[in-house]
Amino acid sequence: MKERLLVAMSGGVDSSVAALLLQRQGHDLVGAYMKNWINEDQVIGHCPWQQDIEDARAVCDRLGIEFQVVNLMREYRERVVAYLLDGYARGLTPNPDIMCNREIKFGVFRAWARDHGFAGVATGHYAQRVDRGDGTYALAEGADRNKDQSYFLALLNQAQLADARFPIGHLAKPAVRQLAREAGLPNAEKKDSQGICFIGEVRMQDFLRAYVPDAPGPIVRATDGKVLGEHRGLHFYTLGQRKGIGIPSNTDHQAYVVVGKRSDDRALLVAFDHPDAPGLFQREVRVHSLSWIGASVARPGRLEGRVRYRDPRVALEFVPESATTALIRFAEPQRGLASGQILALHDGPVLLGGGVYL
């Protein structure tokens, strides 16, 4: 059925081919670039928003569809940047990609689309929306396992998924590139973007240094309490981190890894990177802020989870404790589960929802 759809055009090849496929299906399309951040505060690094707009516009010109720029800078700062900075300031490890999808792409951008008469929002995500045939939808992993982005959609709800379209979710990345070449899209060979635009080519540490004040404290070896050095702030580190700690390996070339943070004296806890390092591996965790794409899971049972992006699904026991919290027991201990990160919950390839590590 022909629909009027708003295509979120990033300037990259994935969203461009999404628009191409929808056009071939006969839909009425408008391409839109979401202007979220323009490096207005002169953060060190490069956020190529101007080039991205030009690339997105060139693709729309090639396809012969209307192009618009939708300014969401205020909402992005309030809902994503504030969440990111607040999380790091409190010693957490937030996930701005997931929050951007929930709050911006399928939040305020979706609301803008509905207000302007569009039936849905299409993106270049490698994920698949499955019609259950009863008026509801399931969200499945992308067919290309190397590019699957369903993890980043873990906090969507049913209403958001109903309005979402993922035209390339059934394709592998090489096929997407080939379609772009065959259609003569001007960005067919453009490299994939790395990270979020507002960070651009800046290291996360440099971005945080510009917005979160340093709060020095000791680097402490967790096994014996020995002080090994000093750090600039706990927000620069995350559980399981091995590089950039600022202390050398020992004489046996054993590297250190972050195993914890102690708030009372702002101590960064480290240990040698070994399976028995205290606090590095966890068999049980609790999650809060549970969000479900379809019906909530209200009874204990066995599910699968993706503990972070690109990790394989792992077996777990899900034990609900309230409507929004649960105990998770993994079949095998998991490494470096940082507070504030997201656990995606699965029934096989079908994404059920997600929660935030306590």
Per run of 10 residues, the mean pLDDT along the chain (length 358 residues) is 96 97 98 81 62 95 98 93 91 92 97 98 98 97 96 98 98 98 96 64 73 92 95 93 85 86 94 93 97 97 97 98 98 96 98 97
The beta-carbon contacts of 171-175 under 8 Å, at least 24 apart in sequence, are 171/17, 171/126, 171/143, 171/144, 172/143, 172/144, 172/147, 173/126, 173/144, 173/146, 173/147
Judge residue 325's burial from the number of C-beta atoms within 10 Å of its C-beta, 0-12 exposed, 13-18 middle, 19 or more buried.
middle
Distance CA(202)–CA(84), nearest Å, equals 15
Domains, the chain, with CATH or none? 4-124+167-204 (3.40.50.620), 215-272 (2.30.30.280), 281-357 (2.40.30.10)
Closest CA to 173 of 147, 197, 211: 147
Cα 283 off chain centre by = 24
Does 60 qualify as catalytic in the annotation? Answer: no
The per-residue pLDDT for 82 is 93
The per-residue pLDDT for 46 is 58
| Sheet with 267-272, side-by-side order of all strands | 227-231, 217-221, 267-272, 256-262
Catalytic residue among 17, 140, 156, 197: 197
Distance CA(213)–CA(92), nearest Å, equals 15
Q: Which SS3 state, helix, strand or coil, does residue 180 take?
A: helix
The per-residue pLDDT for 312 is 96
Q: Centre a 10 Å sphere on the Cβ of residue 124 and count the other Cβ atoms it contains.
A: 22
Q: Calculate the alpha carbon distances from 229 to 218, 268, 281, 313 in Å.
A: 6, 10, 24, 37
The per-residue pLDDT for 108 is 97
Closest CA to 195 of 186, 185, 203: 203
Does 100 qualify as catalytic in the annotation? Answer: yes
Catalytic residue among 100, 153, 180, 343: 100
The per-residue pLDDT for 345 is 98
Most distant CA atoms of the chain, gap in Å: 67
User: Which amino acid, one-letter code, is at 260?
Assistant: G
Written as six digits, the tokens of 301 are 């049972």
Distance CA(307)–CA(320), nearest Å, equals 18
The per-residue pLDDT for 49 is 79
Residues in the chain, total: 358
Judge residue 53's burial from the number of C-beta atoms within 10 Å of its C-beta, 0-12 exposed, 13-18 middle, 19 or more buried.
middle
pTM comes to: 0.92
Distance CA(145)–CA(188), nearest Å, equals 21
